[in-house]
Amino acid sequence: EVMCPAQVSGPSRLVASQISLSTEGAMAVWRCVLVATLASAATARMLGRTAAATAEVMCPGSPARQHASMRLSARVAARCRQVQGEMHARVGGQQQQWHDPHNRGSYELADFGGDMSCTRLTGDGRYTDRMIFTLTEDADGSCQVDACSESQVLSFLDSGTNYCNLKMLFCGSADGCMPVLHDFELLRETTRGSPGASVDLSACLRV
């Protein structure tokens, strides 16, 4: 009996002609190669679908031809009405019930599309970013959050600001955030930023 190796990266790792095996053994080796190849292809397709889904996230647009931006797709263990309720509570409860931990920025509700859209003025009062959130409830009761934040001025490096713009409105206590109405668990998250945009949750929580 031939056991498949724990790690097989492709046919180059196993060449039956280099192994002295019976016909049955050689067939078993090639079966291992086939299984590994199919698994690798499935993983690539899954990653491709994830990247495509992130790329299709609705964005608010920017007048600046070159600007920093971040697309985020996350799934959280809560109903979408709870997620949206929490986001509205944070924006509406600024300074009293909640404050933006990322340099004390200020959010305002807007109407750029999606299920919720906002602007955020940086703590120093110099820059305003725009963002859109689209929420889709899954059959299992979880909520898919697709969001995009874009700088509105000429920019390249953003020091994680566009990621923080989005993340700070729905992150839970497990991330170090302070919920107002609902605290929920993050199940998974993918991001896709412009060149120069970064993802750093610790920076988001630094006042």
Q: How far apart are CA 60 and CA 70, in angstroms?
A: 11
* Per-residue pLDDT at 196 exceeds 60: yes
Strands 128-137 and 143-151: antiparallel
pLDDT band at 17 (very low <50, low <70, confident <90, very high): very low
pLDDT at 95: 85
Instruction: Give yes or no for residue 20 having a pLDDT over 60.
Output: no
Q: What percent of the chain has pLDDT over 90?
A: 70
Distance CA 156, CA 51 (A): 22
> Given this model, what pLDDT does residue 51 score?
45
- Has residue 105 got a pLDDT over 80? yes
Measured at the CA of 118, the angle between CA 80 and CA 148, to 5 degrees, comes to 70
Cβ atoms 50, 22 nearer than 8 A: no
- Which residue type sits at 75? R
**pLDDT given for residue 65 in this prediction:** 92
pLDDT averaged over every residue in the chain:
83
